[in-house]
Structures are given as structure tokens and as C-alpha cells.
Chains A and B, each alone.
Chain A
Amino acid sequence: MASVRSNLRRIALLGGLAGLIMVSAAVKAGVDLPKLEHGKGEHCVEDTQYMRRHHMELLFHHRNETMHQGIRTTKYSLTQCVECHASSKTGSVAASKEDFCVACHDYAGVKLDCWDCHATKPMQRKTAPTAARPTPSPMLAGVSK
């Protein structure tokens, strides 16, 4: 009788262990990292791991320079992020759950308010770049740079 009981206890123990392993496997499967679409070009402006951790600092610094000093370099500009990372399906970085910005920010649970004001889609080129200035600026008339 005692041996049957110990056998039963052993079976229950093993079953419990197997159950635990199955549950943890399921949890692991449920927290897959977001699958991001590869942006345009070979690589980002900085190393991917660096960008993951520090992109907000780069953007913060650049936005102040652009806003207050009129520095309009493209390397760390938000519009340049959108240019490269806009989704091929939605054409946006924040239109669906799979889009570049939203996918990660949803996963991390970090709210971002960039898109309250900034366009989530790249610039629509209306005319060819050469025809960008139909009327030459009067302050420049006749002067070559």
C-alpha cells in the first residue's frame, strides 16, 4: 500500500513539473519581440543597439537645435526616421500595430506623443526637385552663390 502511495506521489510530482514547463514555454511564446520591417538602406544612422536605447535622446537634442537655431541636418531628424522606417503596407510609422514606432512602443508600454503633431508619413514630393522654386526669391536675384 505504501509503495502505491509513493508511486502516486511521484507521478503527481512529475505531472506538476511537466505542467510548469509547458506553462513557461507558453509564456515565452507569448512575449516574442516585435518583428520590425527593415528600414530603407543598409543600416541606421547609429548602431541598432545604440538606437534602441538612445534614439529619444538624439531626437530630443536635434529637435531643440532645429526649432531654436534652425539647424536642419537630416542625420538625427524625425522626418528622416519616417523617410526610412515608414511601413511598406501602410506607408506610415504609426498607423498600425505592426508599424515601426508603434510595434516597439506597444511592446515596451511607453506612450509617445510625437505623432500628435508630426506627420507619420514621408514627404510627398509634389514636383521634381529642380522645379522646387517657381519664382526665384527677389533677395537672390542675379546672384550666384
Chain B
Amino acid sequence: MTDRQNQPDQSAQPEDQGRRSFLTAGALAAGTAVAPGVMLYGIAYGRPPEEPASAKIRWGMLIDTTKCATGCTDCVSACNTENGLSGKTGPQDSQWIRKVDLKDLRDGRVTSLPMMCQHCENPPCVDVCPTGASFKRADGIVLVDRHICIGCRYCMMACPYKARSLVHEHLTDQNPEVPRGIGCVESCTFCVQRVDRDETPACVEACNAAGHQAMLFGDLNDPLSAVARALKTQASEEVRADLNLNTGVRYQGI
């Protein structure tokens, strides 16, 4: 990993660094006083509903594959429930997140990890989209505007992570917060409807609820967020780092 990826983009830093470091010092002191290992600081991300997503934030995720249990699919089921997916895994079924098991044939080491849209800084799906339906929101979340999507599936071919699916059949009873329908390409949205109301994605919540704590979600641009601090202190990797996409999802232990 290069230094650039570990360090948040300096140009996107909030202006009040001095004030922030001062607050951190105070919060850190309070944190250690209460319970070691419990994070007692950070900044509030809640924004009023009328405020647009800010480019100062870049949402990202760190997945520790050493904590990700083989055979556990809690993140997948949580995603299916939240986003109204069928949960089927056929070639024409939508999968926004899937578990991948890797085995090193030399020593037999098995690694299990969830794979989904990596929310690249330079997303190939956005590059190739002929209509502008595939786009990156200011806060780094890569989305498909279904109102504009014509279902050409060019983005599916461009994505190196096989993260996108096309809806092949008419759907009914969608989640009111997650509209989905025939003829549009879709993929992980980082549960944008939850993030916008200051919650973590459903997969992260499920992973924490199961006690694995393998997924860490937060603002990569905020040096105080748990995910940025983990990225700063521990080794992590991008999948297909050679493509220089600067993914928002990073992995440890692969």
C-alpha cells in the first residue's frame, strides 16, 4: 500500500485542524479514563436532511479477514433483508455482497471475506456508463441512478470486482427506502439510506451483532474515525491495487 492510500487526501481535510486536535486530546483523555479499548471520540456525521452529501467525507470500510468466520453469512443476509434482495445466488439473481472463500494451496490456509462494490475513487463503472446513470456521490459512495439507467450492463463488464447485477424480472414489494426494478443495474450502496440518517451499513451492523467485529465503517478523510486510525496503524490491502482505483473498501489478512 502506498502512503497516499493510507493518508487521507490533504486537500479534502477540514479546515479547523487545530481545533479538532485539541478536541481529540480531550476526548482521548476521557476515553482512557472510562474504559480501555472503548472508542469514546469521533465527530458527529449527522447532517440535516436538506443538506447535500459533503465532499469532505469519504465513506469507506476496513474488513479484517482474520475475524471473518468461514461459513458465516450474517452480512449477506442482513444486506438481503435491508435491500429486499431474494437471497438466491443464480446467474440472474442480484447479489450486492457475497462471501468468498480463498484457499492457499501451498499451505492450506483458508481466508473468508465479503466482496461487494469497493466504492472506488476512480470507478471504472462510472467511466464507461453511456448515460451518466452510474455515478459517484460527493461523499464517495458509488451509485446507480435507476431513473437514467438503460440496463446496457457496460458497467458490469467494467467492474473488476463483479460487484454489479442486473434485475432481470419484475419485482414487487420492494423496501420503500430501496427502490429496485427490472432492467436496471444495481450494486452495494453502502446502505446509503442508512448512512444518510447516521447509521452504519446493514452488513456492518450484522457483523458486530454476531460478535465478529470484522467490518469497520467510517470516514476515511477524518483522521479521528476508527477506520482511518486502523488504516494508519495497521497494514491493509486493496483488492486489485494494481488498477489504481483507490478503493473505499480495504482488507486485512489477505
Contacts and interface: CB of A to CB of B under 8 A. Distances in A.
A63 B147 contact: yes
A128 interface: no
B176 interface: yes
The dominant DSSP class at the B interface is: loop
Contacts, number: 111
Contact of B145 (A68, A72, A116, A118): A68
Given A79-B176, A116-B181, A141 B42 contact: yes
A142 B42 contact: yes
The dominant DSSP class at the A interface is: loop
A145 B198 CA distance: 11
B122 to A, nearest CB: 19
Contacts of B74: none
Interface residues of A, number: 32
A41 interface: no
Contacts of A79: 176-177
A74 B196 CA distance: 13
Interface of A: 63, 65, 67-74, 79, 82, 116-119, 121-123, 132-135, 137-145
Interface of B: 27, 30-31, 38-46, 49-53, 135, 137-139, 143, 145-147, 170-171, 173-177, 179-182, 184, 192, 196-200, 205, 208-209, 216-219, 225-227
